[in-house]
Amino acid sequence: MAGIGFSLNRLFQKKGVLNLCRAYAYAGAVAIGPMVMGVCLLIGISFVSQVAGMPQNEREIMNCMLTYSLLVSLFVSSFFNMILTRYISDMLYEGKRERVMPSFFGALAIMLPICFVGYGIFLTFSGVPIVYRIVSMWFAMIMIVVWTQMNYLSALKDYRSIALGFASSMLTGFLLALVLAMIRRGTVLSLMFCVIFAYGIMGTWYLILMLGYFPHGKGSPFTYLRWFDKCRALAFTGVFVNLGLYGHLMIMYFGPLHRRIMGLFFAAPSYDIPSLTAFFSILITTISFVTSVEVRFYPEYRQYYSLFNDKGSISDIEAAEDRMVEVLSRELSYCGCRQIVSTVLFVVFGGFIMDILPLGMMDLGKGIFRTLCVGYGLYAIANALMLILLYFEDYTGSVAATGAFALVANSITIWQAARGDTAYYGWGFMAGAIVYFIIALLRLEWSTRRLPYLLLGRQSAASAQDSGPFTSLENILTRIDKRSKISEKMARPVLLDGSRKAVRPRRK
């Protein structure tokens, strides 16, 4: 978790506004880079399509293809992301760095087929041309690779290369799309290719960084599946967060504001545009959380836990716990204050900016935007509290908070969409965020009063469970992987001194 934090700490210790800006820029590239790139490319490609003179129906189907593929990739990867993060941190802590990279390829070996089958069924009956189906599937698969890579990048200390890869890929994709628009070659397929090309550059760049940092693979690529049985609540936490965060968007595609673009592709521009715009209000808190936790909280957290391993005295442990909780409380308060300021600025000045930009937002959209700004602000603070629960391994609290968030946000949004009352759209998500914040805050207060129990008692109980359906699946996939490698070796001919005869290797 603290890989980039240690590197950022050197920049924060240096004086000057430039170093401070660099530190926050690097933190943002790692923490929210792909998500910001997705939103910016959606807006940028939409602008370029207007410059290219594309018909409105083609612009709308392109936006639907991008949005649907992004959401599919997020939902598929959400079940694996937190488990992979836990597995990576465990392997790094145990000094088994050679087992990290196989898990990356093993995760993709499962996620990509799931995406291909699930999303492929939808695209087959979507009613769009086959070339549109191909590029949509291509984009979704590339996004799954990028989302998975983000779990590994926090361990890298080469933050400059990470930021450079993010900036260069985004700029390349946008400039290529702009050039195509200038020469009147801007079509749905060409602009989709620009987006895929940009994310392809990012994925390739990050893969090179990962291969340069982690040693060559050793062990089964499916060992991480055992962590699903050990930390099952983590997987559901990731799923519930994404359901609560993006579920209301999908529900609105079938509500009163929806429009059928082509086949099974629907859109709700009156809700999508305010939601994407309001999403930017939480970026400052996301970056602030990374810099606060990585740079200030983690050293105290590590010191507290090391006292248990190094046989520290009870007085030292209690003093370290008090310092850690004090730093945590201070940094979370700072994050909350920053988010309040950001939300107020977006609510006050957002309407004026929307009138200037060619977004075509009416009074209904502005009302939804203000409501979602408050909802996203509460979500950002609640999500920071939930991540601290994960630091203390309170998985029960995290899954309860995120589950309530997803249930309340989507249930109320479905009820609003069924009633057809557009006056209070966005209130469902805001209500879910309020419940998320209250439960996470109360649970964190409960956890910080019982840290020794969570550290000693809960870990012993969790480590006892080392079997389950995912462990059985890991054994099956490992045997298949070994057989395929043996078959590959058996089929590979060995030439002797350049002669044409091939000698098969003996079976061991």
How much is the pLDDT for 446?
92
HSE-CB for 179 with a 13 A CA cutoff: 7
| In-domain check, residue 500 | no
Q: Is the pLDDT of residue 337 over 60?
A: yes
pLDDT higher at 433 or 285: 433
CB atoms within 10 A of CB 60: 19
Same-domain pairing of 331 and 446: yes
| Per-residue pLDDT tens over the stretch 32-71 | 666 676 677 777 777 788 777 888 888 889 888 988 998 9
| In-domain check, residue 499 | no
Question: Which amino acid belongs to residue 209?
Answer: L
Same-domain pairing of 248 and 295: yes
| In-domain check, residue 504 | no
How much is the pLDDT for 460?
47
pLDDT higher at 119 or 478: 119
How much is the pLDDT for 428?
92
The tokens of 390 are what?
């994960």
pLDDT higher at 171 or 350: 171
Same-domain pairing of 186 and 84: yes
Instruction: Please provide the average confidence, as pLDDT, over all residues in the chain.
Output: 82
| In-domain check, residue 493 | no
Mean pLDDT lowest among 102-106, 394-398, 493-497:
493-497
> Mean pLDDT over residues 407-415, rounded?
93
Q: Is the pLDDT of residue 496 over 50?
A: no
CA distance 226 to 84: 11
Indicate the pTM of the whole model.
0.84
Q: Could you tell me the sign of the dihedral formed by the alpha carbons of 229, 234, 237, 242, in that order?
A: negative
Q: Is the pLDDT of residue 176 over 80?
A: yes
Give residues with Cβ within 8 angstroms of 85, minimum separation 6. 151
Same-domain pairing of 217 and 264: no
Q: Is the pLDDT of residue 481 over 50?
A: yes
Same-domain pairing of 199 and 283: no
How much is the pLDDT for 309?
78
Same-domain pairing of 32 and 114: yes
> Mean pLDDT over residues 208-231, rounded?
86
Last residue of a domain, one of 221, 255, 283: 221
| In-domain check, residue 319 | yes
Same-domain pairing of 168 and 252: no
How much is the pLDDT for 20?
62
What's the domain range around 388? 238-476
Last residue of a domain, one of 154, 188, 221: 221
What HEC string does 425-440 produce? Answer: CCHHHHHHHHHHHHHH
> Mean pLDDT over residues 270-293, rounded?
81
Q: Is the pLDDT of residue 482 over 90?
A: no
pLDDT higher at 270 or 466: 270
Q: Is the pLDDT of residue 466 over 70?
A: no
pLDDT higher at 215 or 222: 222
Q: Are 193 and 131 in contact (CB under 8 A)?
A: no
CA distance 8 to 5: 5
pLDDT higher at 50 or 205: 205
Q: Which residue has the tokens 């082509």?
A: 262
Last residue of a domain, one of 189, 221, 253: 221
Same-domain pairing of 314 and 203: no
The winner for highest mean pLDDT among 242-256, 291-305, 469-483 is 242-256
Same-domain pairing of 187 and 276: no
How much is the pLDDT for 419?
80
- By percentage, how much of the chain surpasses pLDDT 70? 83
pLDDT grade for 508, boundaries at 50, 70 and 90: very low
pLDDT higher at 155 or 16: 155
| Per-residue pLDDT tens over the stretch 431-463 | 999 999 999 999 999 999 888 887 777 654 455
Task: State the total domains in the chain.
Answer: 2
| In-domain check, residue 452 | yes
Q: Is the pLDDT of residue 497 over 60?
A: no
Same-domain pairing of 174 and 95: yes
How much is the pLDDT for 310?
78
pLDDT grade for 10, boundaries at 50, 70 and 90: low
Q: Is the pLDDT of residue 302 over 90?
A: no
How much is the pLDDT for 1?
40
How much is the pLDDT for 495?
47
C-alpha distance from residue 254 to each of 42, 250, 378, 442 (Å):
21, 8, 26, 35
| In-domain check, residue 266 | yes
| In-domain check, residue 494 | no
Q: Is the pLDDT of residue 208 over 50?
A: yes
> Mean pLDDT over residues 287-298, rounded?
76
Same-domain pairing of 294 and 442: yes
Same-domain pairing of 270 and 166: no
Q: Is the pLDDT of residue 178 over 90?
A: no
